[in-house]
Structure 1
Amino acid sequence: MMEFMGYGRADGSVGTRNYVGVLSAVVCVNEVVENIVRQVQGTARFTHHQGCCQTPLDIHIVNDTLINLGKNPNLYSVLLVSLGCESTDLSGVIEAIAATGKRVEHIVVQEVGGSARTTAQGILLAQDMVREASLEQRKSFPISKLVLGMKCGSSDTTSGLVPNPAIGVASDFVVAAGGTSVLGEVTEFIGAEHILAKHAANEEVAQGIFKLVERMEQRAMAVGEDIRGGQPTGGNIKGGLTTIEEKSLGAIAKAGSAPIQAVYEYGQRPDKPGLVVMDSPGREPEILTGLAAAGCNVIVFATGRGAPQGFPFVPVLKITGSRTAAEKMIDHIDMNLSAVIDGGDTIPDAGQRVLEELVRVASGAMTKAELSGYVNSMDIFMRGPVI
């Protein structure tokens, strides 16, 4: 059985990284979070634009997302930074993260006395927390401890032909070994949801997939728009994709052939292994956050034209089937699978290599996004307006 070298956590999960997470409770403290992380190696920030002046539904999503981000096994401990007047349920967030056995510290700008003092206090706390984290050592774990997030972006005609099916092969390997794979991007099920639903383990799961698509379409119609005005994107069209259905047929290839065991809300942690579906949009800042909140300890990202985004504390492996993207976006692409199109490789072999590279990354090999530091532009998916 394949194994990777990871960090065992008290709740039984396994990290592929070992950061101290510095999390923003509200948009108003993003600068403080950034200043702390800039000064302390071994920390990873999570900033966003939410946490105040939103509907109760969205505040609930913020609370749950922060909790589940804090629970992600790639974080050894968590420093939560708040302003003092946000709507976020700070005590609930702290209590839920601490229940996993992690150290959780909290600093409040309005109580400490401004951003400068809070930054200084946060730096000292973060330094102490990183010292503790640095004592952790990697150990061997089976790939059943992998929670694989799957994403495609800046797609073109090669995406559905090569990297997405190769991801599906790698996902099937992970699932067969007892691991978990999380498929999101509900906007990219549209027009192919009936095909994806055939993968469902039972009728309840199949209906859950249809309901996610219907809800996503209704979100666009609620503001008087057709979702086809934004999907496929301008970049997709330049890359040769003509319709949302065509894009979806390629996107769902990431699911491989395993049965879909469950359907979850945005950022919800799966409570069973296997292939699962998570509600989420296709845009990188929101879906990558949702996958990290779902507990993914590694993410694989197919791109046709070259999407640069990674995530602050979950490694994101970028693969392409486009030789042009691999050459032009060399500082962002980790794997070039264009040999499949050229005729010198096969999808099964490419999928096996994707799995092997995922194991290397899970064991500590850095991705291009980590090397370049292109990991910080994240956000939380909202359903309602700013009020």
Structure 2
Amino acid sequence: MNKIPVFNGYVRQDGKVGVRNYVAILPAVVCVNEVVEAIVANTVMTQGIIHHQGCCQTPPDLERTTDCLIKIGENPNVGAVLIVSLGCEGVDTDRLEAAIRATGKPVERINVQELGGTSAAIKVGLDKAQSLIMQIANIQRTKVDMSHFVIGIKCGASDTTSGIAANPVIGYVADKVIDMGGTVMFGETTEFIGAEHILQRRAKNETVAKDITRIVTEMENRVKAIGVDMRRGQPTPGNIKGGLSTIEEKSLGAIVKSGTKPIEGVIGYTETPRGKGLWIKDSPGREIELLSGMAVGGAQIILFSTGRGAPQGFPVVPVIKICGNPLTYENMKNDMDINAGLITLGTRSIEEVGEETFAKLLRVADGETSKGEAIKYSKSMDFYMLGPVI
């Protein structure tokens, strides 16, 4: 009888389970990023959420930024949170603090203006960060089953090998995680265009099918509203050099990473899945906003396929890179975790590399570092905004 996999995670007071145990240093606004970076540079177990929002935005985007920061603080890989406020930002810092505190996690907040400026805020911030680190440092890992697992999936710097090797591997793993009771999110709405009818066939019901059409239409209309089309932006120049000629062709390869399971629903950028199984997150294709959206959605780990070589990670969520191009893998082997290029060469099957990737997923969940984590390539992030800076 096959043994059912488990992983060793950090069980939080709200019942979520993390695979890392970080103190997240959250800037309420772009203006205090340097304070956050100084605190992170002088502490262990901390990760800065260096974004560029929080002021001079429309009210819906200020609300969205607040929601994103709350959800990052709620992510199970975060054990405690230090909020760094300037004092005049548009983000609702009271709501931010109250929502994260409601999870049972330790939370502290500093205000740069009230403390007398940058140097004073860094000193106080270091003391508060140290206190938070000490409060969570002794939390032990506990064995839990796969029903607690939430993964995000992504493809970037794609070429022709992405759709035939790396993305099918992620689809294999996504199906396996769901069969074991876990949750999978995929997004990149831009890369559904021309293939949305295929996703609709897997929709759980007619409402979900209509939601898939809706988000694709909204994404197309955003581009049309400024009087241009998507070419050069999607597919990117790198995609085209890698052999992808149209957004439809790119989409056909991109959706393969979602596997074969029914789509339970469509969630907004700031939302988390409303149950187990496979969920679409309405989100753009660019790495920094997509990775952030997966962390906002509660992902513990992100599987990221690439053909030309995309090395980005994320501050509080390990990112595992699966490379479908054997030449890229050899050229960038210190960034790539899994060589799916062996499928392209015909020496390994999708199932074999899928099992290798699943085993890596469990090891990373248990504490093994991804290659990006090992070299601290983990700062690329920002939030997906709807309106202009004003």
- TM-score, normalised with respect to structure 2: 0.98
Partner AA of 1:271 in structure 2: R
Matched-pair contact (CA < 8 Å) for 2:324–2:344: yes
Unaligned runs of 5+ in 1: none
The aligned residue for residue 346 of structure 1 is 349
Partner AA of 2:48 in structure 1: R
1:355 aligns with 2:368: no
Q: Determine which of 116, 120, 130 is the counterpart of 1:117.
A: 120
Q: Residue 121 of structure 1: CA displacement? A: 0.5
Q: Distance in 2 between matches of 1:102 and 1:134?
A: 13
Q: Residue 338 of structure 1: CA displacement? A: 1.4
Q: Residue 150 of structure 1: CA displacement? A: 0.2
Q: Residue 284 of structure 1: CA displacement? A: 0.9
1:254 aligns with 2:257: yes
Unaligned runs of 5+ in 2: none
1:182 aligns with 2:195: no
Aligned to 2:161, what secondary structure does the other structure show? Answer: coil
**Count of aligned residue pairs for this structure pair:** 387
Q: Distance in 2 between matches of 1:261 and 1:276?
A: 6
Matched-pair contact (CA < 8 Å) for 2:326–2:345: no
Q: Determine which of 11, 28, 31 is the counterpart of 1:8.
A: 11
Supply the RMSD in Å over aligned alpha carbons. Answer: 0.8
Q: Distance in 2 between matches of 1:353 and 1:35?
A: 38
1:284 aligns with 2:290: no
Q: Determine which of 256, 271, 274 is the counterpart of 2:274.
A: 271
Matched-pair contact (CA < 8 Å) for 2:326–2:344: no
Q: Residue 197 of structure 1: CA displacement? A: 1.2
How do 1:33-44 and structure 2 match up within 5 A?
33-44=36-47
The aligned residue for residue 244 of structure 2 is 241
1:172 aligns with 2:171: no
Matched-pair contact (CA < 8 Å) for 1:267–1:291: no
Matched-pair contact (CA < 8 Å) for 2:53–2:65: yes
Deviation digits for residues 109-164 of structure 1 (CA, Å, limit 9, x no counterpart): 00111010001100111111111111011111112211000000000000000110
The aligned residue for residue 126 of structure 1 is 129
Q: Residue 267 of structure 1: CA displacement? A: 2.8
Q: Distance in 2 between matches of 1:143 and 1:210?
A: 31
Aligned to 1:290, what secondary structure does the other structure show? Answer: helix
Q: Residue 228 of structure 1: CA displacement? A: 2.8
The aligned residue for residue 154 of structure 1 is 157
Runs of 4+ off more than 6 Å: none
1:373 aligns with 2:385: no
Q: Distance in 1 between matches of 2:124 and 2:14?
A: 29
Q: Determine which of 43, 55, 59 is the counterpart of 2:58.
A: 55
Q: Residue 199 of structure 1: CA displacement? A: 1.1
Matched-pair contact (CA < 8 Å) for 1:267–1:292: no
Partner AA of 1:323 in structure 2: P
1:67 aligns with 2:53: no
Aligned to 2:279, what secondary structure does the other structure show? Answer: strand
Q: Residue 384 of structure 1: CA displacement? A: 0.4
Instruction: Choose 342-351 or 133-142, whichever is displaced more.
Output: 342-351
Aligned to 1:174, what secondary structure does the other structure show? Answer: helix
Partner AA of 1:303 in structure 2: T
1:324 aligns with 2:289: no
The aligned residue for residue 308 of structure 2 is 305
